[in-house]
A and B are shown apart, each in its own frame.
Chain A
């Protein structure tokens, strides 16, 4: 009799939970939005269009632990661009911090995304690298700090568009390495490789950041 009552209670609880999920869906269910068909407009390439490869010599890093909100992909898709465009700002919990601006040696910022996963479960591994020259103590300290600190990177393509690596819940992990060289002609410095899982090959930042302003050191 006790078991019967317990089973009834369990069934009732399950029913209530199912109804609640139907009426108040969890935000993560927004991923279902991606099930709508993609636009059928043709993909065209305009004559004379510029197409430089690579990225500008700068990168921004934002530790996830320092922000209460980050740019996010829209829950509802209305145009094709919504599939890959994150909007919003990084809201720093202390109200004063800013993304860390990192100068990079020319032609060392690299980004790509490989496909991963079994059939019907495919996604992307976003990955790349950047290089900071020299043997500064500050660079070594940053390498130590970032070694186990996941977050977000913002890269700026030569064409001007900014891309974000890392999303809330699927953060970007950075693996720093240092090579101080052997010969006089060797380049020494810190190489940072990074990786993040995502459903999106490239996340464009719909609310771009003024990187120039962040490179200015306050007197």
Chain B
């Protein structure tokens, strides 16, 4: 959280609205009572030396000093952030159960549902990882939290269709089957789908960061993109190697 405050203060082109959000989140009730209405009483984008803006900078600089000298006092605020939302126990047990589904016993409809659930799980993990990024703005964090909630709801409703009947404990044969090329192919295809989805989302993040002029976010997103693209190239190579005709 302090990183967000420092990024905002250190940005020559700091955004007023972002500052008001930080102030509302971090200032004491007493200070908010005095200034929040004044800070919010701005209808359009204001100049850097408008009194609203300069006073806001001073208030947030004071908050930063407090955060540095007494970080414990701000821990509860960080804990109530949407970013702090972790998967519930139900979600975790659902993920464990999904891994035990016997796909061969499913009808085509249920196979499609199962496949969608398998796509959702890593996507949610990826969003959880993104939410740990300290440089995210509150709006970006809120968007990600909403996506997470939507995916979670979708997963729950899909899971209800299974009714638990298709769950089987893995047998020795299943474990041995992991070496089978068909199983590996499905596994690689799933990884490819996941990383392609991540690339799509990261490109979107880059566009948003460029539009908002957020250099830090753009740099972070570009480094994630490089990582995902390298991952994708590796997976494609593995798939190609798997599909190559074997010499006898």
Contact = CB atoms under 8 A, between A and B. Distances in A.
B101 interface: no
Interface size class of A (residues with CB under 8 A): 20 to 34
Given A207-B10, A210-B12, A92 B57 contact: no
A201 interface: no
Nearest to B8: A207
A89 to B, nearest CB: 4
A213 interface: yes
Given A97-B49, A207-B9, A213-B48, A91 B55 contact: yes
**Residues of B contacting A: mostly:** helix
Contacts of B65: 74-76, 87
Contacts of B218: none
Contact of A206 (B10, B53, B55): B10
B54 A91 contact: yes
B51 A88 contact: no
A91 B51 contact: yes
B27 interface: no
Contacts of B43: none
A207 B49 CA distance: 13
B49 A92 contact: yes
B50 interface: yes
B10 A89 contact: no
Nearest to A209: B12
Which of the listed residues A88, A91, A208 has the most CB atoms from chain B within 10 Å of its own CB? A88
A210 B54 contact: no
Contacts of B9: 87, 206-207
Interface string A70-97: 0100111011001000011111100111
B51 A207 contact: no
A95 B68 contact: no
User: Chain B CB within 10 Å — which of A74, A89, A213 has the most?
Assistant: A89
A210 B48 CA distance: 8
B166 interface: no
- Counting from the closest, the 10 A-B pairs by CB-CB distance are A89-B57, A89-B54, A87-B61, A95-B51, A210-B12, A78-B68, A91-B54, A98-B49, A88-B61, A88-B58
Interface of A: 69, 71, 74-76, 78-79, 82, 87-92, 95-99, 206-211, 213
Interface of B: 9-10, 12-13, 47-51, 53-55, 57-58, 61, 64-65, 68-69
